[in-house]
Amino acid sequence: MMLLGDVFPNFEADSTFGRMKLHEFLGDSWGVLFSHPRDFTPVCTTELGRAAQLSLEFSKRNVKLIALSVDGLEEHHDWSKDIMAYNNAEPGSEFPFPIIADDRRELVEELGMLDPEEKDQSGMPLSARCVFVIGPDKKLKLSILYPATTGRNFDEILRVIDSLQLTAHNRVATPVDWRPGDSVMVPPGIPEQEALKLFPAGVYTKDLPSGKKYLRYTPQPNTHQQ
């Protein structure tokens, strides 16, 4: 089982972009590896369609997308045309990111992506809707697991990446429903005097009935802290 902070396996696999080795494909980029139960299915088509629509937003953040399922390359190539048609893309438009073929189920087993509740016609389990966010250091930064019946929100995945990238370089935390540009929170482990030095834009502390001063806010930093 993969835990946050673990180095992600440097697997090698066939994809619609050719044979790929994960770490070499990612280079110094962030990565989002996400699995889906099956090609030519309705929820998966809407998910990959939305991911394709947002591919430029991911690229702006230096993030590479990689999809994966237990179907083969031929199915992936044919299905990607349906996805682009679902997006009302121009005929012949290229699908913007690779889809890994794992028809032997080797990767989904290694990475714990199988959903025991969802099976194909032969009774074999299908891949669940997993999301793995991998940092430039090749370590797992976030994992989310959805059932087959619930499509993912790729705008939320973008929001999470914005938070991960901000907090990777600044000693801050992002509160509930945070969006880029919103105030961020000062972690409890930073003493008051150090916080004043770290955050020259100021620190606002919300008064609470307990008298404890743990809800501390500061404007989002614009530069990386040393």
Residues with a known catalytic role? 44, 137
Phi (first) and psi of residue 21, to 5 degrees:
-115, 125
Say which amino acid occupies 6: D
- Taking alpha carbons only, the member of 97, 90, 17 closest to residue 65 is 97
The whole-angstrom separation of Cα 82 and Cα 39 is 10
The whole-angstrom separation of Cα 53 and Cα 86 is 11
Q: 133 Cβ partners below 8 Å, 6+ apart?
A: 30, 31, 32, 140, 141, 142, 143, 157, 160, 161, 164
Say which amino acid occupies 224: H
